[in-house]
Amino acid sequence: MFLQVDKSANDADAMKREQVSKLLRDLAQENHVYALSQIASEAQAGGPFDKVIGMVEGMIDKLMKEAAEESDAKAFCDTEIEKSRAKQKELSSKADMHSVRIEKGAAAKAKLESQIKTLQEEVAAIDSANSEATALRSKENAEYTKASAEYKMSADAVANAIQTLQEYYSQGSFVQLKATAGPEFGGAKSDIGTTIIEMLEVAESDFTRLLAESEAAERTAQTAYDSLSQKDAVAKAAKLAEVKGKQGEVKSLEMNLLNYKEDKESTLKELDAVLTYLDKLKPQCQTKVMSYAERKARRESEIAGLKEALAILSE
């Protein structure tokens, strides 16, 4: 009776060993895990159940620990990579924004500098034209001064001559009338004197007219020069004020450009740090042979198989 019970127990144990050994061997072959083959060999070789159960439980604990560690590592990698890539995108966008600002600022500065150069050239042209006008006005005034002096002197000289002749012929006629009885001779002389005086009066009138015309031309020229000078002075002042304003804008742009360049440099340094950190994450976070999902599925399959073997051994 005892022999029969003992034989039945041995047959049941052998069946369990066979089932566990086959289960673990198939699992080891499927997942290429040498430790499972060792447990299968131990079970097949007839080692104590407690030892086999201990090996199975130890393997389960090890796999569970690995699962927890890898899950934590996966969560860490996912979080850090996501954060780093978001930061990379943000910094790249900021760097692009700084580049656009620098480009626009440089273009605005170049445009202002071109406008300043044009204004300065226009101011120089005004100065040059004013210089030429002043030189011409000085020449005209010198000519007027000389000519007017000559006209006045000539007019005065002719007027004096007329006065002298008038006095001369007036006295001469009076004496002639007293000394001679022949009035014809005195009359002829008087006619000649009258003619000469009339000619001199015409000359005086001409000199007086030329003097008046010269003075009128001088006044007109001076008025035109004064008007042009005033107009040029106003235009020059306006252009210089515009130059000053644009130079102020250039200085402001230069300060902004300096800030933009510093901001871009700082952003690029920060971006480099983020990219360096992402590179450092690659060895521990990138899957080279099997993905996390594949490793997880394989591990779960191994744990399920080991639990099934444990259940068989524990019956």
Domain that holds residue 87: 48-314
Can you give the pLDDT at residue 134? 95
Q: What's the whole-number mean pLDDT along residues 4-32? A: 67
Rounded to whole angstroms, the Cα distance separating 270 from 254 reads 24
The answer to the question of residue 21 being in a domain is no
Rounded to whole angstroms, the Cα distance separating 26 from 46 reads 18
Cα within 13 Å of Cα(47), Cβ side: 16
The answer to the question of residue 224 being in a domain is yes
123, pLDDT greater than 90? yes
The answer to the question of residue 220 being in a domain is yes
CA distances to 161, 173, 196, 199 from 188, rounded to whole Å, are: 20, 10, 13, 17
Can you give the pLDDT at residue 178? 40
Rounded to whole angstroms, the Cα distance separating 203 from 209 reads 10
Q: How confident is the model at residue 198 (pLDDT cuts 50, 70, 90)?
A: confident
* Residues 129, 131, 134, 138, CA torsion sign: negative
* pLDDT tens-digit readout, 50-60: 777 777 777 77
Q: What's the whole-number mean pLDDT along residues 248-253? A: 96
Residue 70 sits in a domain of what CATH number?
1.10.287
Q: What's the whole-number mean pLDDT along residues 42-53? A: 69
Q: What's the whole-number mean pLDDT along residues 185-199? A: 70
Rounded to whole angstroms, the Cα distance separating 26 from 309 reads 12
211, pLDDT greater than 60? yes
186, pLDDT greater than 50? no
Q: Which residues contact 57 (CB under 8 A, 6 or more apart)?
A: 310
Q: What's the whole-number mean pLDDT along residues 84-91? A: 94
Q: What's the whole-number mean pLDDT along residues 110-114? A: 96
Quick one: the chain helix, strand, coil %, rounded to 5?
95, 0, 5
* Token code pair at residue 126: 């005004």
Give residue for tokens 């901001």.
263
The answer to the question of residue 226 being in a domain is yes
The answer to the question of residue 20 being in a domain is no
Rounded to whole angstroms, the Cα distance separating 162 from 221 reads 34
The answer to the question of residue 217 being in a domain is yes
Can you give the pLDDT at residue 296? 72
Can you give the pLDDT at residue 95? 95
The answer to the question of residue 25 being in a domain is no
- State the total domains in the chain: 1
Please give the residue that has the higher pLDDT: either 299 or 213.
Answer: 213
Q: How confident is the model at residue 177 (pLDDT cuts 50, 70, 90)?
A: very low
Output the pTM of the full model. Answer: 0.58
Please give the residue that has the higher pLDDT: either 34 or 41.
Answer: 41
Per the prediction, the chain carries an average pLDDT of 82
Q: How confident is the model at residue 276 (pLDDT cuts 50, 70, 90)?
A: very high
Please give the residue that has the higher pLDDT: either 154 or 178.
Answer: 154
The answer to the question of residue 213 being in a domain is yes
Please give the residue that has the higher pLDDT: either 75 or 42.
Answer: 75
Can you give the pLDDT at residue 11? 64
64, pLDDT greater than 70? yes
Rounded to whole angstroms, the Cα distance separating 192 from 185 reads 11
Lowest pLDDT segment from 101-105, 115-119, 277-281 = 277-281
Helix (H) / strand (E) containing 156: helix 49-179
